[in-house]
Amino acid sequence: MRAFRLTRTGQDPQLADVPLPEPAPGEVRLRIAACALNFADLLMIQGRYQERPALPLTLGMEVAGIVDALGPGVEGLEPGTRVAAFGSCGGLAEFGCWSAERCITLPEGVSFRDAAAFQIAYGTGHLALDHRARLRAGETLFVTGAAGGVGLAAVQIGHRMGARVIASARGEDRLDIARAAGAHEVIDSDADELKGRLKALGGIDVTYDTVGGAGFDAALRASRPEGRLLAIGFAGGEVPQVPANLLLVKNLSVIGLYWGGYMTFAPRVLTQSLETLLGWMAEGSLDLHVSHEFPLEEAAEGLDLLRSRKATGKVVILP
């Protein structure tokens, strides 16, 4: 089979012919129909991701496909079942093996493309806003990096949960995308006096920050009493430093969220969240934005779009 392989960190991955994998006990083999790309794939190439699977490895974290074979001891799944699955790697290939516990059966009407694209971005948004920040209807949610895959998902989910959403992104085209996803107010991330503009809009109850840097600091200072700030990522390259005295004076909370970690210490919390999202997708409450699709042999072009920040929403590879 063909797979997009990383053999050495710091070097470009390449398409290669590799043996068809056999499922281990508790695993299923999938014929992969779609694999969504993530910023974490770029970090893995650089050797900077928090998880470092042994090399050589096949890139690709979130997939959807058809169960092709069962490993020993697998129950509840049958060959031919349409599923989505998440792992640290293995998705940019024609076939791959995943734990059966990580496979979620797809409802009718949910495409393979959408099933691959929703897991990390929408799963992160829902787990962060619902489980960690306890976002309530009527509260004000501020989302940074709101036209990227993770930020755009948070805009949609916040809107679905009844929040008033303020979205920050760079440039009018990206702000239009955030508006279409449900943002009530938009602010160009290059605008001056972000803190003042946020305060003029009434302040913030929950911040969903994927960028870090100055945007996080502005949101911290524009937060209402008992505001919650979610640290999702630092795509801008600057990790915020939080003055603890501000947390004390306003009774603020800074909350970290590493979505994949729940697979280790609380997997049912994660899978319940994904099941909720699949239900929303099946009923038409979420409209996934996939900006680009590529065949497997053009996976490098998809990664370049993420690297150059030219993608909006998700980039999906279709083996």
Domain edges within the chain: 2-106+289-318, 122-259
The three-state secondary structure class of 75 is coil
pLDDT of residue 92: 98
pLDDT of residue 63: 97
DSSP state of 171: S
N-terminal to C-terminal alpha carbon distance within the chain: 11
Phi, psi angles (nearest 5°) of residue 40: -65, -30
305, 98 in Cβ contact below 8 A?
no
Largest CA distance in the chain: 60
Q: Which residues of 185-221 are buried (b: 16+ CB within 10 A; e: fewer)?
A: bbbebeeeebeebbbebebbbbbbbbbbbebbbbbbb
Q: What totals of helices (H) and strands (E) does the chain contain, helices first?
A: 10, 16
pLDDT of residue 311: 82
Long-range contacts of 188-192 (CB under 8 A, 24+ apart): 189/144, 189/145, 189/215
For the domain covering 122-259, report its CATH number: 3.40.50.720
pLDDT of residue 102: 87
Which run of H or E residues covers position 95? strand 95-99
Give the chain's length.
319
Q: Which amino acid is at 176?
A: D
Which run of H or E residues covers position 128? none
Q: How many CB atoms lie within 10 A of CB 171?
A: 12
pLDDT of residue 167: 97
pLDDT of residue 267: 83
pLDDT of residue 228: 98
pLDDT of residue 89: 93
Q: Give the position of tokens 């409802």.
A: 107
DSSP state of 260: G
pLDDT of residue 273: 94
Residues 6+ apart with CB under 8 A from 113: 34, 64, 290, 293, 316, 318
Domains 2-106+289-318 and 122-259 belong to one CATH topology: no
Q: Which of 96, 98, 113, 97 is nearest to 1 (CA)?
A: 96
Residue 107: asked if its preceding bond is cis (omega within 30°), the reply is: no
| Domain at 2-106+289-318, CATH class | alpha beta
317, β-bridge pairs: 35, 294
60, 91 in Cβ contact below 8 A?
yes
- Below-50 pLDDT ranges, the chain: none
> What's the predicted TM-score (pTM) here?
0.85
